[in-house]
Amino acid sequence: MKFTGLLALACATALMGGCNSTNRTSNNTTTPNNESGTAGTAGGGVSAGDTRFVNDMLSDGMAEVELAKLAKDHAASADVKQFAQMMIDDHSKAGEQLKQVSSTYAIQPDAKIDDKHKDLMDKLTKLRGADFDKEYMSAMVDDHEDAVRELRSRVDENRSLSDRLSGKNPEQQGAVKPEPSDDAAKASVNKWAADTLPTIEHHLDRAKTLKDAVDHPSRSTARK
């Protein structure tokens, strides 16, 4: 009888040990998934493309503001200085709006001025007057052509091909709508792009006008 009791006790102990082992294995298996889920709510669900787009736009906006501050001090043309103030006002506003989007979806900010714009700043720092105006406005045309192209990748446009190529009718907000998406973060980023595109098109149109004016000062006075 004693032997039978000891055998039963040993079997019970073995069974309990097996259950505990199973529980530990189960807990170890689910822990990484739980951690992964937590990371997802902290921005892990945002695509790499959306994160890159946000940081590229923030970086470019920072560069435009810093270049504009330089222009306000180095430019000769009153129109160029006025354009520079528009850059500061509009790009600062757009940047703050995009930061709100990135904060809402926990997009990790990593925006910094790139080497291309650092080199441009170094070059422009050495220039003043008419020489500065020419280099600055040429850079503004190039920068805003790039920005328009990037923003258009995020929107649907109800516009003619000629209007898209020329960047005209920027005031028609209804002609530009965000590219639809079931992903909340992407949809918000696309909405920002659609809201910002008309402003950047206006910048591009103005930059082209001023570039022509500073390149050919005797031809005509830049229009307001």
Q: Range with the lowest mean pLDDT among 25-34, 39-48, 110-119?
A: 25-34
Q: For residues 162 and 175, give the distance between their C-alpha atoms in angstroms, rounded to a whole number.
A: 14
Residue 166 has pLDDT above 90, yes or no: no
**pLDDT over 70, % of the chain:** 71
Q: For residues 132 and 61, give the distance between their C-alpha atoms in angstroms, rounded to a whole number.
A: 20
What is the third-level CATH fold of 47-215? Ferritin (1.20.1260)
Q: For residues 43 and 101, give the distance between their C-alpha atoms in angstroms, rounded to a whole number.
A: 12
Range with the largest mean pLDDT of 4-8, 96-100, 104-108: 96-100
Q: Are 69 and 86 in contact (CB under 8 A)?
A: no
Q: Are 99 and 109 in contact (CB under 8 A)?
A: yes
Identify the three-state secondary structure at position 13.
Answer: helix
Assigned token pair, 222: 């830049």
- Domain residue extents for the chain: 1-44, 47-215
**pTM (two decimals):** 0.74
List pLDDT tens digits, range 42-94. 445 899 999 999 999 999 999 999 999 999 999 999 999 999 999 999 999 99
Assigned token pair, 85: 């103030």
Residue 215 has pLDDT above 70, yes or no: yes
Q: Are 87 and 64 in contact (CB under 8 A)?
A: yes
